[in-house]
A and B are shown apart, each in its own frame.
Chain A
């Protein structure tokens, strides 16, 4: 029996959700729609009476003050166009799961619950409009079904699985057939790799089984194997001459600098799921940043939510398990003001992608109780088909439990958390391939849907087990699922798994699907046999699924899988982990200088400043930030929004992760895809400098700062992409050595290209995100960017060149840019940062803002309006190269620069600290409420702060 329950707002009470939908319908330009009504639908499945169904509706599902319910179907309305959105069978439905639990709490028996949403569009609505609203706004066909009538889903019947071992003949295949196998099986492996597999099974004297090929493809995927970064590279110039050969790129760049710097406070780097550094005697802090680009392109909400869910599990699976204390989020989207007709086929509108992604991060992070404290958003047309979603998590762990641990032979393999379903099959291989306009349908099974509360429960219980020391090793189930997790943990000693013991969401999964499923919220533990009962009780006590599925340690380092006692996989760990042939990659790079055109001189630059403030990369992201809980856990020190009205831009976030300590962690980021196009080497230096600058600007300690790299690039099998990749990797090495800030973790996503239905391939700009964490001794020494008091002195720290390539100035002027980007001098910038740090520690600095997009003009405006004060500056007093003209002094984007506010009392002390450095005393804070910047002859900028702030705020006033 299925009872349908409809719940809607009472007419006397508004319906905010319907209102939101209505606003978005109007945004689509459908003026004939005059209103929207909505209802929540529940389908109660079970053998109980109508009275019981009514009781569930009345006591549990309805809020009696503001809602009313109807048991049964109210049918199609005669005054409105009906749209119902139902989840597809098998898609995770957390609300249904919670409601089932609650019905049981009421003492009733229920077989299941399903949920759906119903919308009624009022006014004159054509069928075509109804289809557009359903498809563009309300439903995602990847996970949902649209019905234009009152729909009650049929009872779910699950197909039983007929166990059968499938062999895939490979030993006699020629090259062509091998590649066909790779393509048809979504293995995304090249011919060298396919041959290595063929040779392995030839010498094993048997054909592989399907799950064995699946596992090798997953382990050797770009996503899990980082083949490109570990490859040997041959770099050629445009004439085809070899200019450089680099063996093992990673070892010789990013990782190399960390080894050479060899900082004693780096406790566990590049070996574990997150990079770990010292916090204090008793604690260590770790940080990991991941991307979840391809899933977010297809299902923005689910993709971004599981992106957060996934990166949170990285610290949880680092050392013996860290507790997450802060999240970061950095996004790259297509232009949100793009006319809907211009969006290519197979691509979601950037506005929808942005709303979905923000919603996903919000709902997962907020539910987990992790403050989202830092981020950035960039826009470019080339992100249309390939949006980027970076999510980071900072975690805390006990100092004595922070190193990478190995399981011991005989340890039980325990799978904890979410049940396994068909969700996320082939995520690892899919993210290693190119997106096409067909992907939306072909790879929908690669989308995972998350349930934050399941992960929170896993976290709560694992922390208890960690305190009691009940397990010997832990890792997360991420890309590649159990295959990857057990494969990595058992690398040294082998493992034996009974795959039929893994708890499933529904019947019918094949053994291969169970093994490689990327179902969310799962961790894998290695537990000494004596502790198994105790640890299982901890999980059971808080209603967390935990199952022993095998044990670590086999003869000859084997990985062996069984289904109902029958062997289905038997692979050598050595072949799995070391059998991947290290490829040689071809790279082409040569920079040919192209100067930027000289932008027109203007009477003043008021409009230019307003245009830059309103440009999407610079404009206020308050709409996003406020939707995140950035204060949960009680450690907030510097928030993402600052100033006298608490809505100005902050440079970096600061949190105190240990409540009874004044020690704190500064978290910041840097990124500039616009420069990435023009000069990948300088772009990477700029990214590192910006991340560090932001951290130092609030009071970070450069000598205790670690950084992380996240490369998102186009297809690096193409030599030009590989060429820019190598440049950026080399810059990472040089930057880390110069600033003496080690990289402690990193990740790359290297196939961000999109093929349109016309066959055109669009690659994203070269996009390197650098994240930073800095450990400081006293949170109470931190400062913010808002100007504090009229009369205080303003100094500009750092040198300004005349180079305008890649600047936002040229962007808003609509001018084509050359590649004459400002060159970074990391050694000089380090000196300057150390001096600024000393000044901040001495209490000499009242406010400080780094100069980035829009240069001095934007920094001054932001500081002034955040403080509700004015500023009067004279650019003649800046430390500038003689080539810098007035536009450059005002708007150039040189790295390593800060605008700082100093009180008269600390004036002398500040001058002493910054002696011999490029520092210019350029003006004062005023109480006029105007930003005034004077040039050699005339006033370049004179604007009321209200105007500047309004321009900055209006772009994303959604």
Chain B
């Protein structure tokens, strides 16, 4: 059986594309990194793939706002292409900068890439602490619908961002996300309970670390699953007791869904 194919979208300033490609390969995918300019030249390429990953980095330097310029490029050059891709049974994952791009292009939370809908109901704002931070966090998987996580799991992953505070426009948006089972990941402590900084490292509303679209096939998250695919990635592996690399779960679940 042919392996499912994953597209890792890259552009100027993308910098987690190689390790994301590697993680996908480890999970069983045939993965390929493609520059957005090639995709714009030939949008039909996307049809070869079942999975699109927008990896971490600083696309276009995060100038103006994180992920904004790449989102703008998708909106104005690939809107129809991406809307067609997500209308069938395919997956999209946005990691860190990729999550910011998905929010700002309208892929999340409502799976609608259009200039007047994008970035209107939710955003990722500057961390409350006002600066970029790299640290490990615990996450509780809270969605039954989301393809990438298993509800009830508590996993550890690193974050590394300056603009990761999830902010819905108002309470109605939050309620709609809850009603739709779209809150995929929340920042918690190792026991699974919510807490102040640094348990919630950036001040995200309702501790939200990752969301999915209404179908559960599109997901964005601030933490980096591709940075925990070996036991030796964990900051405490030398203390012993680290049995599995939690980041692999997301890629493996995507693989199980598509294979």
Contact = CB atoms under 8 A, between A and B. Distances in A.
A631 B167 contact: no
B12 A453 contact: yes
A368 B15 contact: yes
Contacts of B12: 453, 456-457, 460, 542-543
A367 B226 CA distance: 18
Specify which of A60, A95, A632, A783 lies most central, judged by the most chain B CB atoms within 10 Å of its CB.
Answer: A632
B238 interface: yes
Interface stretch (B53-61, B81-89, B209-217): B53-61
A99 B63 contact: yes
Interface string A339-376: 00000000000000000000000100011110000000
A369 B135 contact: no
Given A63-B125, A453-B58, A541-B37, A102 B13 contact: no
Given A98-B60, A101-B60, A65 B35 contact: no
A14 to B, nearest CB: 7
Given A105-B73, A366-B58, A636 B227 contact: yes
Given A14-B128, A634-B226, A644-B239, A107 B76 contact: yes
A60 B64 contact: yes
A451 B12 CA distance: 12
A781 to B, nearest CB: 10
B3 interface: no
A59 B115 contact: yes
A786 B37 contact: no
A6 to B, nearest CB: 14
A631 B232 contact: no
B35 A542 contact: yes
Nearest to A99: B64
- Max chain A C-beta neighbours (<10 A), residue from B60, B61, B128, B129: B61
B252 interface: no
A396 B8 CA distance: 23
Residue among A452, A634, A638, A641 with the highest chain B CB neighbour number at 10 A: A634
B49 interface: no
Given A65-B119, A634-B22, A627 B132 contact: yes
A659 B227 CA distance: 11
A458 to B, nearest CB: 10
Contact of B126 (A17, A636, A779): A17
A772 to B, nearest CB: 20
A543 B135 CA distance: 34
A19 B127 CA distance: 12
B13 A367 contact: yes
B90 to A, nearest CB: 25
A94 B64 CA distance: 10
Contacts of B125: 13, 63, 65-66
Given A16-B126, A456-B15, A541-B37, A451 B61 contact: yes
Contacts of A629: 132, 134, 160
B64 A65 contact: no
Interface string B50-82: 000000111011111100110011001100000
A98 B61 contact: yes
Interface string B118-136: 0111110111111111111
A422 interface: no
B134 A626 contact: yes
A642 B60 contact: no
B128 A626 contact: no
Contact of A106 (B22, B23, B72, B120): B72
A723 to B, nearest CB: 43
A780 interface: yes
A13 B14 CA distance: 29
Interface in A823-858: 847
Interface residues of A, number: 68
A677 B13 CA distance: 44
Contacts of B176: none
B64 A102 contact: yes
B158 interface: yes
A472 interface: no
Interface in A639-686: 639, 641-644, 646, 656, 659-660
Contacts of A20: 130-131
B235 interface: yes
Contacts of A61: 64
A871 to B, nearest CB: 17
Given A64-B119, A629-B160, A788 B68 contact: no
A17 B125 CA distance: 12
Contact of B131 (A627, A644, A646): A627
B191 to A, nearest CB: 15
B224 A631 contact: yes
B128 to A, nearest CB: 6
B55 to A, nearest CB: 10
A95 B63 CA distance: 5
A784 interface: yes
B68 A60 contact: yes
B13 A642 contact: no
A788 B235 contact: no
Contacts of A94: 61, 63
Interface string A554-566: 0000000000000
A736 to B, nearest CB: 30
A17 B130 contact: yes
A63 B64 CA distance: 9
Contacts of B57: 369
A782 interface: yes
Nearest to A40: B64
Interface string A459-482: 010000000000000000000000
B78 to A, nearest CB: 11
B206 interface: no
A784 B60 CA distance: 37
Given A13-B125, A367-B58, A659 B19 contact: yes
Nearest to B132: A627
A628 interface: yes
B243 interface: no
B18 interface: yes
Contacts of A65: 119-123, 125, 167-169
B259 interface: no
Contacts of B62: 367
B139 interface: no
B232 A779 contact: yes
Contacts of A16: 126-130
Interface in A115-174: none
Contacts of B127: 16
B156 to A, nearest CB: 10
B42 interface: no
Nearest to B63: A98
A635 B229 CA distance: 10
A6 B239 CA distance: 51
> Which one of B15, B73, B119 has the greatest number of beta carbons of chain A within 10 Å?
B15
B233 interface: yes
A630 interface: yes
Contacts of A541: 35, 37-38
Contact of A105 (B63, B76, B236, B239): B76
Which A-B residue pairs are the 9 nearest by beta carbons? A369-B15, A634-B19, A98-B63, A16-B130, A65-B123, A95-B63, A453-B61, A367-B58, A784-B238
Interface of A: 13-14, 16-17, 19-20, 59-61, 63-66, 94-95, 97-99, 101-102, 105-107, 362, 366-369, 451-453, 456-457, 460, 541-543, 625-639, 641-644, 646, 656, 659-660, 779-780, 782-784, 786, 788, 847
Given A65-B125, A543-B12, 4 more contacts: A20-B130, A65-B169, A453-B13, A646-B236
24 contacts: A19-B130, A60-B64, A60-B68, A60-B72, A63-B125, A94-B63, A95-B61, A98-B69, A102-B68, A102-B72, A105-B72, A367-B13, A452-B13, A453-B12, A542-B12, A627-B133, A632-B19, A632-B160, A634-B16, A642-B235, A646-B135, A646-B236, A784-B238, A786-B239
